């Protein structure tokens, strides 16, 4: 009886523990569901907050929301959360950098507005308040930008209604001058004329790099137009002269060839007649030798046949002389055709050289932006077909503006040449390098393994950091930053360029002499 009571007591205790376990499980389950709801709400709000800032982050957040809707173990989502955490951290660094740039731009724009004459005192006070305010967030800087834009709008209205608008006009003129200067430099670089026109254009480009007054800029613009027209006319006249010479030689060859054809036909007919007559004489001699028993009586006839043979021999010699003249004429025509072929080959080579120059950057002697667009499109189409690894990297010289400001544009040009040559030497024949813009270069490496492309790009980075630059008796170390990526999925060349720019920005944000991949 005692044992039964003990068992009943134990069963009762176990029942109580089971009830408590069920309650605990239900509470944990409810808590877990609440946490999932809170997590989903947080993910949704993060998606809204970060929407449009980073496409990769948008995609990852969308995928995470979809996973949360599925009845899966939430612990399996930890790797995805780690990836999102990394993307959010990267975006935070990018946002902080953008906030710093925005802060600098606010101060620069504010200082520019402060220098405008004729602004009311109230507007100046508001401007000082904006510039003196400290910013602790990107949202606050956005508010300052909006207030600054309002002041700009009020300033423009005031200036437009007053007589003192010359300063604004000068500012606009200055912007147009800078734009015109850059366009002229780009035009001179792309044309690359030879001879006197080319030398004068290079001299003008060097003057534009240093900077010229507005009046001189107008004069140089007119001079560039004149030199471009002269160079174009000169090339057209040279081409026309060459074509006229070729047409004249071809017309002469056609005439002499027709004459040779006629002479050849006549010689062929004469040879036929001569052969027929000779055969007739030979047959007569054979017949006479058979029929005549006394050759002495046949002598007069044989003498006449001999005279006929002599006439045939003379005619044959005349034909041989004409054939010799014909052969000499054909030999002359052959030499003329060979000469024309060599001339056209030389001209074709000149055209190929000119076409190659059109796709070469005049300063660095690597390919230019036009060649880059063609090659990138070509490699993109090959990638679509074969799906081999296709790497594109963007290389930027660190603090290149400081070199131009400290040592002059000539030193900057020298550095660009040396760096472009060094990059080219570190690559293989199948790789492609082009000057992208200013101090930026693009490198395309098709069908290269991950280990090899990292090796080549690191070799480029390390080789440039070891270059012994010396400007104005000072040793200068120059480094580069590299942003790289691969074609994947539905990528287009435009997507790749944008991604390399983002990767380059991340590399430069991390410090000098860095390489950053976005895959």
Report whether pLDDT(50) > 70. Answer: no
The interaxial angle of helices 195-210 and 214-291, nearest 10 deg, is 160
Ramachandran bin of 389, using left for φ above 0, alpha for ψ from -120 to 50, beta for the remaining angles? beta
Q: Which of 66-80, 191-205, 224-238, 273-287 has the lowest mean pLDDT?
A: 66-80
195 in a domain, yes or no? yes
Final residue of a structural domain among 331, 358, 385: 358
Contact 461, 511 (CB under 8 A): no
A 10 A CB-CB count for 194 gives 14
Residue 392 phi, psi dihedral angles, 5° rounding: -125, 130
Final residue of a structural domain among 138, 161, 184: 161
Long-range contacts, stretch 229-237, CB < 8 angstroms, 24+ apart: 230/197, 231/191, 231/193, 231/195, 231/197, 231/198, 234/195, 234/197
Amino acid 160: pLDDT: 65
Report whether pLDDT(459) > 80. Answer: yes
| For residues 430-457, average pLDDT | 94
Contact 276, 300 (CB under 8 A): no
| For residues 480-485, average pLDDT | 96
433 strand-pairing partners: 443
Do residues 317 and 405 share a domain? no
Do residues 354 and 393 share a domain? no
Report whether pLDDT(214) > 50. Answer: yes
Ranges of beta strands (E only) in 201-338 are none
Confidence of residue 165 (pLDDT cuts 50, 70, 90): very low
The interaxial angle of helices 121-132 and 78-114, nearest 10 deg, is 150
| For residues 97-105, average pLDDT | 71
The DSSP result for 343-406, as a single string, is HHHHHHHHHHHHHHHHTB-TTT-SB-HHHHHHHHHHHHHHHHHH---EEEEEEEETTHHHHHHH
166 in a domain, yes or no? no
Amino acid 173: pLDDT: 64
440 strand-pairing partners: 396, 437
Do residues 443 and 381 share a domain? yes
Calculate the alpha carbon distances from 3 to 7, 11, 15, 50 in Å. Answer: 6, 12, 18, 68
The domain of 469 spans: 369-518
388 in a domain, yes or no? yes
102 or 412, which is more confident? 412
CA neighbor of 382 nearest in space, from 394, 391, 390, 373: 390
288 in a domain, yes or no? yes
Do residues 274 and 225 share a domain? no
Do residues 349 and 388 share a domain? no
Amino acid 114: pLDDT: 67
Report the number of distinct structural domains present in the chain: 4
Confidence of residue 159 (pLDDT cuts 50, 70, 90): low
337 in a domain, yes or no? yes
Mean pLDDT of the chain: 78
380 in a domain, yes or no? yes
Contact 482, 515 (CB under 8 A): yes
Amino acid 91: pLDDT: 67
Which of 160-164, 218-222, 365-369 is most confident?
Answer: 365-369
The DSSP result for 179-225, as a single string, is HHHHHHHHHHHHH---HHHHHHHHHHHHHHHH---HHHHHHHHHHHH
Report whether pLDDT(172) > 50. Answer: no
Do residues 128 and 267 share a domain? no
Final residue of a structural domain among 338, 358, 378: 358
Confidence of residue 29 (pLDDT cuts 50, 70, 90): low
CA count, 13 A, side-chain hemisphere, 233: 7
Contacts of 459 (CB under 8 A, 6+ apart): 426
12 or 345, which is more confident? 345
Amino acid 46: pLDDT: 65
Per-residue pLDDT reduced to its tens digit, 231-273: 776 766 777 776 777 777 777 777 777 777 777 788 788 878 8
Give dist(CA 27, CA 207) in Å, integer: 80
Residue 284 phi, psi dihedral angles, 5° rounding: -65, -45
212 or 398, which is more confident? 398
Give the chain's largest Cα–Cα span.
176
Report whether pLDDT(85) > 80. Answer: no
Give dist(CA 434, CA 120) in Å, integer: 51
Per-residue pLDDT reduced to its tens digit, 269-308: 887 888 888 888 788 877 777 777 776 777 787 788 788 8
151 in a domain, yes or no? yes
Per-residue pLDDT reduced to its tens digit, 354-399: 666 678 888 898 998 888 999 999 999 999 998 999 999 999 999 9
- Integer-rounded Cα Rg, in Å, for the chain is 44
**Judging by beta carbons within 10 Å of its beta carbon (0-12, 13-18, 19+), is residue 393 exposed, middle or buried?**
buried
| For residues 24-48, average pLDDT | 68
Do residues 222 and 292 share a domain? no
Calculate the alpha carbon distances from 461 to 166, 184, 319, 363, 480 in Å. Answer: 49, 32, 79, 21, 6
Do residues 300 and 180 share a domain? no
Give dist(CA 182, CA 209) in Å, integer: 9
Amino acid 225: pLDDT: 80
CATH of the domain at 396: 3.30.70.270
Which of 115-124, 135-144, 197-206 is most confident?
Answer: 197-206
CA neighbor of 73 nearest in space, from 36, 26, 38, 24: 36
Q: Please state, for a pLDDT cut of 70, what percent of the chain lies above it.
A: 72
Dihedral of the alpha carbons of 450, 453, 455, 460, in degrees to the nearest 10: -160
Per-residue pLDDT reduced to its tens digit, 500-516: 999 999 999 888 899 99
Report whether pLDDT(4) > 90. Answer: no
**Judging by beta carbons within 10 Å of its beta carbon (0-12, 13-18, 19+), is residue 319 exposed, middle or buried?**
middle
SS3 433: strand
330 in a domain, yes or no? yes
Do residues 378 and 509 share a domain? yes
Do residues 195 and 308 share a domain? no
Amino acid 166: pLDDT: 46
Do residues 393 and 444 share a domain? yes
Do residues 98 and 22 share a domain? yes
């Amino acid at each position: 009886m005692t044992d039964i009571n003990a068992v009943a007591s134990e069963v009762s205790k176990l029942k109580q523990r089971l009830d408590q376990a069920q309650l605990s499980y239900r509470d944990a389950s409810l808590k877990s569901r609440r946490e999932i709801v809170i997590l989903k709400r947080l993910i949704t709000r993060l998606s809204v907050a970060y929407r449009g800032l980073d496409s990769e982050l948008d995609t990852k957040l969308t995928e995470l929301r979809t996973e949360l809707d599925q009845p899966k173990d939430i612990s399996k989502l930890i790797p995805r959360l780690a990836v999102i955490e990394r993307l959010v951290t990267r975006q935070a660094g990018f946002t902080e950098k953008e906030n710093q740039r925005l802060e600098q731009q606010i101060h620069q724009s504010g200082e520019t507005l402060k220098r405008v004459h004729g602004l009311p005192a109230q507007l100046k006070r508001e401007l000082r308040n904006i510039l003196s305010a400290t910013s602790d967030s990107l949202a606050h800087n956005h508010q300052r930008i909006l207030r600054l834009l309002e002041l700009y709008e009020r300033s423009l209205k005031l200036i437009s209604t007053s007589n003192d608008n010359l300063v604004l006009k000068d500012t606009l003129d200055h912007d147009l001058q800078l734009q015109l200067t850059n366009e002229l430099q780009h035009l001179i670089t792309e044309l690359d004329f030879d001879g006197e026109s080319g030398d004068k254009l290079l001299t003008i480009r060097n003057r534009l790099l240093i900077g010229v007054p507005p009046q001189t800029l107008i004069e140089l613009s007119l001079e560039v137009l004149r030199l471009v027209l002269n160079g174009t006319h000169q090339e057209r006249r040279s081409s026309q002269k060459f074509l006229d010479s070729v047409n004249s030689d071809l017309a002469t060859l056609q005439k002499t060839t027709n004459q040779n054809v006629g002479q050849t036909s006549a010689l062929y007919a004469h040879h036929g007649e001569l052969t027929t007559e000779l055969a007739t004489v030979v047959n007569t001699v054979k017949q006479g030798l058979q029929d005549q028993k006394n050759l002495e009586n046949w002598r007069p006839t044989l003498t006449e046949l001999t005279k006929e043979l002599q006439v045939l021999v003379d005619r044959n010699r005349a034909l041989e002389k004409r054939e010799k003249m014909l052969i000499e004429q054909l030999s002359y025509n052959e030499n003329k055709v060979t000469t024309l072929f060599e001339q056209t080959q030389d001209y074709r080579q000149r055209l190929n050289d000119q076409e190659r120059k059109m796709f070469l950057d005049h300063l660095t002697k690597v390919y230019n932006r036009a060649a880059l667009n063609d090659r990138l499109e070509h490699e993109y189409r090959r990638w679509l077909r074969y799906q081999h690894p296709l790497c594109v990297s963007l290389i930027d010289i660190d603090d290149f503006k400081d070199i131009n400001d400290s040592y002059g544009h000539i030193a900057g040009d020298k550095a660009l040449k040396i760096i472009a040559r060094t990059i080219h030497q570190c690559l293989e024949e199948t790789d492609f390098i082009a000057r992208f813009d200013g101090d930026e270069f693009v490198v395309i490496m098709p069908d290269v393994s991950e280990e090899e492309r990292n090796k080549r790009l690191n070799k480029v980075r390390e080789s440039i950091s070891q270059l012994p630059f010396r400007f104005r008796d000072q040793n200068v170390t120059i480094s580069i930053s590299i942003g790289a990526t691969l074609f994947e999925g539905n990528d287009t060349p435009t997507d790749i360029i944008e991604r390399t720019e983002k990767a380059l920005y991340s590399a430069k944000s991390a410090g000098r002499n860095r390489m950053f991949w976005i895959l």
